[in-house]
Amino acid sequence: MNIRAISIYIGYLLLVEGAFMFAALGVAAIYQEQASLVAFLMTIGVLLFIGLLLTRLRRGPGRVYAREGFVTVALGWVLISFFGGLPFYISGYIPNLLDAWFESVSGFTTTGASILKDVEALSQSMLYWRSFTHWLGGMGVLVFMLAVVPLSKGSGETFHLLRAESPGPSVDKLAPTLRNSAQILYAIYIVLTIIQVLLLVLGGMPFFDSLLNTFATAGTGGFAIKNASIAAYPSPYLQLVIAVFMALFGVNFTVYHLILAGQGRAALKNGEVRLYIGIMLFSTLLIALNILPQYGSFSKAALLSFFQVSSIMTTTGFATADFNLWPQFSRYLLVVLMIFGACAGSTGGGAKQVRLLILLKSLKARMQMMLRPRAVNPVRMDGKQVKEDMISGVYAFMAAYAMICIVSFLLLSFDNKSMETTLSALAACFNNIGPGLDLVGPAGNYSVFSPLSKFVLSIDMLLGRLEIFPLLLLFSPSVWRRRA
């Protein structure tokens, strides 16, 4: 285990976080928020101090292998979410350290589950920081670090970091060097963000609100800055812009890179994106028909339905209506949509559409094989064969996913909440969505849970964002053994 290399990477990570916090400090200065200013200043001080201390370390002779990559990512995420929660705690807006950590984890993992009963009571700078954690956590803090800090110098070791942080069963490098790949990803991300802010401002949303809502959309997070979430902006134009951009941020970013490279045709043929859009449109139609009696007009029902489906599938968690009050079919369909979530390589969460696609295809191949035992039936996706180890990787992921659900479910049951609340809270946190049903529906929040449940849900959010294995491996003794 190369502790020094891990410490250096984490040091840079904390420096990046500290640097971004200066923007929140600026907001606090502009709005003259005394308590927030002090809280940010203290946190930045701590981050820079530890960061500089760690990055001063000498690298030493050891190399970085897969396990160092996993440990860096897992530890890094635990630490940045801890420090990201400090301002809430120091400023007194969230007086409990566990609650502050929960809120911060929820931010960085782009979940958007909140323990705050009254969001509007937060200061402007706290709101800014809370939404900004979505933006940073969406594309990944380590990816940002790889884009700005020249760490690799020709060696491929930082690839282990990218692989451990990026969502999806496999990682594509967009450019030959990691640094360029990370830069391309962030460039696409930033451009899309700017476009959305402009469109929202054009629709009459105040600039500050536009920026913060865009942060939450881009990271597919879902922290609202109004108690009524997006329903606070009644303009259909604004709701439609947000709904469309949520869907866009849930698409695999390699597709945008292909389009930019002039290969739009290949991008359209991407099986995962087709499945994603297909499920999204079909579910929108089903729910629109189902809630039609409640709203009367089809266009209104369709808009509400599209917004909610887009919000849930991309694992954002914004709401324009209290879907908790919708018919049972619509409510449960939304929960089902939570499980597979968005595309791999996007900012969204869940088990990813590509895994669903591979599961379906391998299931089909399996059934064919039962009928014709000697037929050769490779699983194909986008014109290429899906190799056996990728398929078994998907199976292993789904098995681990189910196991974690079961354990978390039992731990949450100590709170004596209804089955609907418990299960939907678990699904909403593990898949990084935010709102669930019943007590944790769009109108409710997570303050109803005990400290144990909040802790379990926080861990679930991290497990969901890092796709289980990095965090799980942190607790495997063989990772920490000196000699592998």
Partner 1 sequence: MKIVIVGDGKVGFTLTKQLSQEGHDVVVIDSNPNVLRTSQELLDVAIVEGNGAYVSVQLEANVQTSDLLIAATSGDEVNMLCCLLARKLGCKHTIARVREPAYDQQLRLLKEELGLSLSINPERAAAREIFRLLQFPPFLKRDSFARGRAELVELKLKENNPLIGKRLFELGDLKELNALICIVERYGEITIPSGGFKLLEGDKITIAADAAELARLLRHLNISTHKTQSVHIVGGGRIAEYLAAMLLKAHVRVTIIERDLARAEALSLALEDALIINGDGTDQELLLSEGIKQTDALVTLTGIDEENLIVSMFGNYIGVPKTITKINRTEYYSVFANMGIDTVVSPKLLTSDEIVSYVRAMANTSGGSVTALCTIAEGKAEAIEFFINEDAPYLDIPLKALALKEEILVAAILRSRKVIIPKGNDSMQKGDTVVIVAPTGDAIFDMRDIFINENPKLGAAEKE
Interface residues with partner 1 (CB under 8 A) are 66, 152-160, 173, 175-180, 387
Query: What's the one-letter identity of residue 165?
Result: E
Q: From the CB of 256, what's the least distance to partner 1, in Å?
A: 17
C-alpha to C-alpha distance for 358 and 379, rounded to whole angstroms: 8
DSSP assignment of 212-254: HHHHHHHTT----SSTTGGGG---HHHHHHHHHHHHHHTS-HH
Taking the complex as a whole, the smallest distance from the CB of residue 378 to partner 1 amounts, in Å, to 15
User: Would you say 293 or 383 has its CB closer to partner 1?
Assistant: 383
Residue 157 Cβ, how far from partner 1 at the closest point, in Å?
8
H or E, element range at 256: helix 253-260
Token digits of residue 245: 């951009």
Query: Which tokens is 132 given?
Result: 């900004």
- The gap from C-alpha 142 to its chain's centroid, in whole angstroms, comes to 14
Query: CB of 152: closest distance to partner 1 in angstroms?
Result: 5
* Residue closer to partner 1, measured from CB, 256 or 446: 256
Query: Residue 323's CB: how many other CB atoms inside 10 A?
Result: 24
The answer to whether residues 1 and 67 touch, using CB atoms and an 8 Å cutoff, is yes
| Neighbouring C-alpha atoms within 13 Å toward the C-beta of 319 | 23
Which residue from 465, 464, 459 is spatially nearest to 136, judged by alpha carbons? 465
Minimum distance, C-beta of residue 389 to partner 1, in the bound complex (Å): 10
Residue placing its CB nearer to partner 1 in the complex, 56 or 63: 63
Count CB-CB contacts under 10 A for residue 197.
20
Compute the least distance from the CB of residue 62 to partner 1, in Å: 14
- Minimum distance of partner 1 from residue 173's CB (angstroms): 5
Q: How far is the CB of 414 from partner 1 (least distance, A)?
A: 43
Cβ distance to partner 1 smaller for residue 55 or 177: 177
We find the least distance from the C-beta atom of residue 170 to partner 1, in angstroms, to be: 11
439 and 417 Cβ atoms separated by less than 8 Å: yes
- 263 vs 299, which CB is nearer to partner 1? 263
Would you say 59 or 117 has its CB closer to partner 1? 59
Q: How far is the CB of 72 from partner 1 (least distance, A)?
A: 15
Q: Which is nearer to partner 1, 385 or 418 (CB)?
A: 385
Task: Pick the closer one to partner 1 by CB: 157 or 460.
Answer: 157
Smallest distance, partner 1 to C-beta of residue 186, A:
18
Please say which residue, 152 or 447, places its beta carbon nearer to partner 1.
152
DSSP 384: E
Nearer to partner 1, 100 or 142 (CB): 142
Cβ distance to partner 1 smaller for residue 375 or 484: 484
Residues contacting residue 128 through CB under 8 Å, at least 6 positions apart: 23, 24, 27, 208, 211, 212
Buried b (16+ CB within 10 A) or exposed e, 257-281: bbeeeeeeeebeebbbbebbeebbe
Nearest Cα neighbor of 36 from 93, 120, 116 is: 93
| CA triple 188-194-199, angle to 5 deg | 125
For the chain, first and last CA: distance in Å?
8
Burial of 46 by CB count in 10 Å (0-12 exposed, 13-18 middle, 19+ buried)?
Answer: middle
Q: How many CB atoms lie within 10 A of CB 76?
A: 25
